[in-house]
């Protein structure tokens, strides 16, 4: 096997369902069908014929997705996928070739890094800088991108920091890409989960060589649908459909139907308002918890997304060893910063129910105190 194990995803898959408290969920507490849909809509689903549906996504769903971007897209600019993870895979297989150079924002959801390396690409980082409140190092980006760069890979809003690019930063990235004739690919799966309630601009429509992904797993709190998409120029979307025929072929027909409902303007507003409310309340409680710990922890508050990336000042404490000990001894799961190549941090999900989060933080506090005493003995 040539591809590396995707450790971030593998660790979550192994352990997130084995503990009393999973504090590292990266989205929001999911809706039930009863919470999300009216009786009429549920009745419609009960009478849906469970066929394959259109493999690139129903015309209706692709049109609705296209209208969520304010740049004149239509259904031909959209491919529906089984979650945004499949969108990432298909995009890489379509656009990248052996020997291509890829420049990727770090920290990041590391799936594309692994896929690009397996394809034989040279992958280089540019960084968000904690000392600058996670602003991107645009000078580093400008110096790293070359005429050989095929693609700049972004995550906005960012996983795991929750940083959102400013308009100025977006334009500088576009200028750098354009100067080097490079593609921009932006993972925008957290777009819609902004704490201030103002949806950030998409990269799509800003430059002729842009592809973005989206989906309903994160900002929409509907991960069980496994519904994602790629948006971009028609000729590239046509090519991604060809790869989609070799992967999952199609997303499920019920996911199509529920997606068509969830993305309608009124329902979308209802979903996102619910999730943003949870984010703001939970972030307030997390800040209070961190502030009460006498400088042991530091958090640059996220601007969007369902998580917080917490730095800790605990001498000789490795993030993976801490995560393993908490899981094995306290039935509590946090994601180690090592999964992002950044020891000294851990990721906490803040899209959960308030009571669950507060109980989990109490257990986290007890567990960390016990672990620090244990390794100090």
Percentage with pLDDT > 90 across the chain: 91
CA-to-CA distance for 64 and 205, rounded, in angstroms?
17
Residue 111's nearest CA partner among 146, 84, 139 is: 84
Whether residues 372 and 308 share a domain: the answer is yes
CA 288 centroid distance within chain: 26
Whether residues 305 and 197 share a domain: the answer is no
Query: What ranges in the chain are assigned the alpha helix state H?
Result: 7-15, 33-36, 39-46, 59-67, 83-95, 111-118, 138-144, 167-179, 234-244, 253-262, 265-291, 319-330, 354-376
Residue 116's nearest CA partner among 140, 141, 136, 99 is: 99
pLDDT score for 375? 87
Query: Tens digits of per-residue pLDDT, 216-268?
Result: 999 999 999 999 999 999 999 999 999 999 999 999 999 999 999 999 999 99
Whether residues 19 and 108 share a domain: the answer is no
pLDDT score for 1? 55
Does residue 40 belong to any structural domain of this protein? no
Domain stops at, among 264, 294, 329: 264
Q: Is residue 105 classed as helix, strand or coil in its secondary structure?
A: strand
How many angstroms separate the Cα of 306 from the Cα of each of 26, 76, 132, 192, 274? 5, 31, 21, 11, 13
Q: Phi first, then psi: what are they for 184, rounded to 5°?
A: -110, 130
Whether residues 245 and 292 share a domain: the answer is no
Whether residues 252 and 303 share a domain: the answer is no
How much is the mean pLDDT over the chain?
Answer: 95
Neighbouring CB atoms inside 10 A of 50's CB total: 8
Percentage with pLDDT > 70 across the chain: 99
Q: Which CATH number fits the domain that encloses residue 161?
A: 3.40.640.10
Q: Phi first, then psi: what are they for 249, rounded to 5°?
A: 70, -55
CA-to-CA distance for 62 and 59, rounded, in angstroms?
5
Query: Tens digits of per-residue pLDDT, 324-360?
Result: 999 999 999 999 999 999 999 999 999 999 999 999 9
Does residue 189 belong to any structural domain of this protein? yes
pLDDT score for 105? 98
CA 344 centroid distance within chain: 21
Whether residues 176 and 241 share a domain: the answer is yes
Residue 358's nearest CA partner among 284, 295, 301 is: 284
Does residue 186 belong to any structural domain of this protein? yes
**192-197 average pLDDT score:** 97
Domain stops at, among 264, 298, 324: 264
Does residue 207 belong to any structural domain of this protein? yes
User: How many residues are listed for the chain in this entry?
Assistant: 377
Whether residues 352 and 319 share a domain: the answer is yes
Q: Which CATH number fits the domain that encloses residue 315?
A: 3.90.1150.10
CA-to-CA distance for 67 and 62, rounded, in angstroms?
9
Neighbouring CB atoms inside 10 A of 156's CB total: 26
Whether residues 278 and 145 share a domain: the answer is no
- What single string gives the DSSP state of each residue in 243-303? HHTTTT----HHHHHHHHHHTSHHHHHHHHHHHHHHHHHHHHHHHHHHHTTTTSEE----S
Does residue 41 belong to any structural domain of this protein? no
Domain stops at, among 264, 294, 321: 264
Query: Tens digits of per-residue pLDDT, 86-116?
Result: 999 999 999 999 999 999 999 999 999 999 9
pLDDT at 2 over 90: no
Whether residues 256 and 280 share a domain: the answer is no
Does residue 337 belong to any structural domain of this protein? yes
Count: domains in the chain: 2
pLDDT score for 5? 81
Whether residues 90 and 220 share a domain: the answer is yes
The tokens for 267 are 């329902």
Residue 227's nearest CA partner among 205, 254, 188, 201 is: 254
Query: Tens digits of per-residue pLDDT, 140-187?
Result: 999 999 999 999 999 999 999 999 999 999 999 999 999 999 999 999
Q: Is the peptide bond before 107 cis (omega within 30 degrees of 0)?
A: yes
Q: Find the domain containing 190 and state its range.
A: 49-264
Q: Which residues partner with 311 through β-bridges?
A: 298, 345
pLDDT at 377 over 90: no
Neighbouring CB atoms inside 10 A of 34's CB total: 9
Whether residues 57 and 14 share a domain: the answer is no
Does residue 37 belong to any structural domain of this protein? no
Whether residues 99 and 142 share a domain: the answer is yes
Lowest mean pLDDT segment, chosen from 23-27, 142-146, 176-180, 188-192: 23-27
CA atoms within 13 A on the CB side of 169: 20
Does residue 184 belong to any structural domain of this protein? yes
Q: Is residue 216 classed as helix, strand or coil in its secondary structure?
A: coil
CA 279 centroid distance within chain: 15
């Amino acid at each position: 096997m040539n591809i590396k194990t995707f450790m971030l995803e593998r660790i979550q898959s192994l352990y997130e369902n084995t503990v009393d408290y999973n504090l590292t969920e990266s989205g929001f507490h999911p809706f039930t069908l009863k919470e999300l849909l009216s009786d009429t809509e549920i009745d419609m689903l009960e009478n849906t014929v469970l066929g394959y549906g259109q493999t690139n996504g129903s015309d209706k769903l692709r049109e609705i997705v296209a209208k969520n971007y304010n740049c004149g897209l239509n259904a031909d600019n959209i491919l529906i996928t089984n979650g945004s993870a499949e969108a990432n895979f298909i995009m890489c297989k379509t656009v990248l070739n052996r020997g291509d150079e890829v420049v990727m924002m770090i920290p990041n959801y590391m799936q594309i890094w692994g896929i690009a390396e397996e394809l034989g690409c040279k992958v280089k980082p540019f960084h968000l800088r904690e000392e600058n409140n996670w602003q991107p190092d645009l000078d580093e980006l400008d110096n790293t991108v070359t005429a050989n760069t095929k693609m700049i890979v972004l995550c906005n809003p960012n996983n795991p920091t929750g940083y959102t690019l400013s308009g100025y930063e977006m334009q500088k990235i576009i200028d750098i890409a354009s100067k080097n004739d490079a593609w921009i690919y932006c993972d925008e799966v957290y777009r819609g989960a902004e704490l201030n309630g103002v949806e950030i601009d998409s990269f799509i429509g800003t430059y002729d060589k842009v592809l973005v992904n989206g989906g309903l797993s994160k900002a929409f709190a509907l991960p069980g649908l496994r519904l994602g998409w790629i948006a971009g120029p028609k000729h590239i979307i046509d090519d991604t459909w060809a790869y989609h025929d070799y992967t999952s072929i199609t997303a499920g027909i019920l996911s199509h139907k529920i997606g068509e409902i969830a993305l309608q303007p009124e329902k979308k507003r209802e979903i996102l308002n619910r999730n943003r409310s949870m984010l703001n309340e939970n972030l307030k409680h997390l800040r209070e918890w961190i502030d009460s710990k006498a400088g042991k922890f530091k958090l640059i508050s996220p601007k969007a997304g369902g998580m917080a990336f917490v730095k800790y000042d605990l001498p000789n404490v490795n993030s993976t060893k801490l995560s393993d000990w908490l899981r094995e001894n306290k039935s509590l799961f946090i994601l180690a910063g090592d999964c992002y190549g950044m020891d000294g941090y851990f990721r906490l999900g803040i899209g959960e129910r308030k009571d669950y989060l507060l109980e989990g933080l109490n257990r986290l506090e007890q567990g960390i105190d016990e672990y620090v005493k244990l390794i100090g003995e």
